[in-house]
């Protein structure tokens, strides 16, 4: 969904990850250095994963991003992949880690990771926080990531059939979306205003969750939610942009619903005002700010959805 940085896992990291899986090690940390993802630290593991999280907390700061892999204490065949990208990290570093994450997961083996989390503060690095985040995604028969995604898709398909059969009045075939619009979505965008639109799935409704004043495009990197998918409309320099974000760790059901309704939402708002460009990224920090400096007018449809580009700065690593 978002552009890739071209950075891949180093051979050392791949070999270290294989050993980590085979051995009784607890947590693995990796950093980007010299245009590769390299091993940073391995916490070998004590008698308690909770104690290991205390050690993990001492290895992270509020300025340096890391990738963190946690071996579940209740099942050593289950792992959590955490993108630790602090709020105070440099914007280029945020973009680099966000755009390299998916490539790294595929290189290590996506089948290993039952959970994908995004943390942006040292305060979040707590065992209880991790346990709460993953408990709802684990099952008694230990489904693999792909199996669980397939199950979620099947559940969503069933629910869609039920909704289509019983609530056809909510479907607008002309605009190709399955949810009604709340009255507060009747927008007249103003310059330097960011409008956040979200889907209330239980109520089957799209509504305006908040409006935020911004000074320039750079503010979008931090003002757009990093917790869940969102449609955003922003007006800058008298041009209106539509932005669809789907952050790391978003639930499969949310991803499918937002993705399938994106073009319908664009079409709906195009009836009220022109949209200069439609952008689609994972995390908001992946937005390429130069997209908002383009003087050419583009039609916001699937064929011209703009993809971000990335610079690739190098970052010094730290080894234990």
The mean pLDDT value of the chain amounts to 79
Report whether 141 contacts 114 (CB < 8 A). no
pLDDT digit string, tens, across residues 278-293:
999 888 888 888 888 7
Name the domain boundary from 137, 172, 193: 137
Q: What pLDDT shows up at residue 296? A: 45
CA torsion sign, 117 to 120 to 124 to 126?
Answer: positive
Torsion of CA 46, 48, 54, 58, to 10 degrees: 20
pLDDT digit string, tens, across residues 91-126:
888 888 988 888 899 889 888 888 889 898 999 999
Confidence of residue 177 (pLDDT cuts 50, 70, 90): low
The two tokens of residue 265 are 């939402």
pLDDT digit string, tens, across residues 51-100:
999 999 999 999 999 999 999 876 667 899 999 998 888 888 888 898 88
In eight-state DSSP terms, residue 23 is T
Q: What pLDDT shows up at residue 44? A: 86
CA distance 265 to 319: 47
User: Within a domain: residue 155?
Assistant: no
The two tokens of residue 175 are 């605009």
User: Within a domain: residue 84?
Assistant: yes
Phi/psi at 45 (5° precision): 110, 135
Give me the domain span that covers residue 242. 180-290
User: Within a domain: residue 143?
Assistant: no
User: Within a domain: residue 286?
Assistant: yes
CA distance 172 to 306: 26
Number of separate domains in the chain: 2
Q: Beta strand 8-9 with 36-43: parallel, antiparallel or unpaired? A: parallel
User: Within a domain: residue 298?
Assistant: no
Same domain, 25 and 128: yes
Same domain, 128 and 197: no
Q: What is the CATH number of the domain that holds 245?
A: 3.40.20.10
The two tokens of residue 281 are 């990224």
User: Within a domain: residue 152?
Assistant: no
In eight-state DSSP terms, residue 179 is S
In the chain, DSSP finds a helix count (H) and a strand count (E) of: 7, 12
Give the H/E segment covering residue 104: helix 91-108
């Amino acid at each position: 969904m978002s552009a890739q940085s071209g950075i891949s896992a180093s051979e050392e990291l791949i070999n270290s990850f294989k050993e980590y899986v085979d051995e009784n090690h607890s947590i693995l940390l990796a950093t980007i250095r010299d245009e590769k993802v390299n091993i940073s630290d391995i916490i070998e593991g004590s008698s308690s994963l909770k104690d290991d999280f205390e050690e993990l907390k001492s290895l992270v700061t509020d300025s340096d991003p890391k990738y963190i892999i946690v071996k579940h204490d209740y099942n050593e065949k289950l792992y959590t992949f955490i993108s630790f990208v602090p709020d105070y990290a440099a914007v280029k570093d945020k973009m680099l880690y966000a755009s390299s994450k998916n490539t790294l997961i595929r290189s290590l083996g996506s089948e290993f990771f039952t959970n994908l989390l995004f943390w942006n503060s040292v305060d979040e690095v707590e065992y209880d926080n991790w346990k709460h985040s993953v408990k709802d995604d684990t099952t008694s028969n230990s489904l693999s990531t792909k199996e669980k995604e397939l199950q979620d898709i099947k559940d969503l398909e069933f629910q869609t059939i039920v909704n289509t059969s019983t609530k056809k009045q909510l479907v607008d075939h002309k605009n190709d979306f399955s949810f009604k619009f709340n009255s507060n979505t009747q927008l007249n965008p103003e310059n330097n205003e960011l409008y956040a639109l979200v889907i209330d799935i239980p109520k089957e409704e799209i509504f305006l969750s908040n409006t935020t004043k911004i000074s320039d495009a750079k503010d979008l990197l931090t003002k757009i939610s990093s917790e869940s998918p969102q449609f955003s409309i922003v007006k800058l320099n008298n041009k209106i942009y539509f932005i669809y974000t789907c952050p790391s760790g978003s639930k499969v059901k949310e991803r499918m619903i937002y993705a399938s309704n994106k073009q319908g939402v664009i079409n709906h708002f195009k009836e009220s005002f022109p949209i200069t460009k439609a952008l689609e990224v994972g995390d908001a920090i992946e937005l390429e700010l130069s997209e908002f400096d383009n003087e050419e007018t583009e039609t916001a449809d699937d064929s011209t959805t703009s993809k971000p580009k990335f610079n690739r700065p190098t970052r010094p690593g730290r080894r234990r």
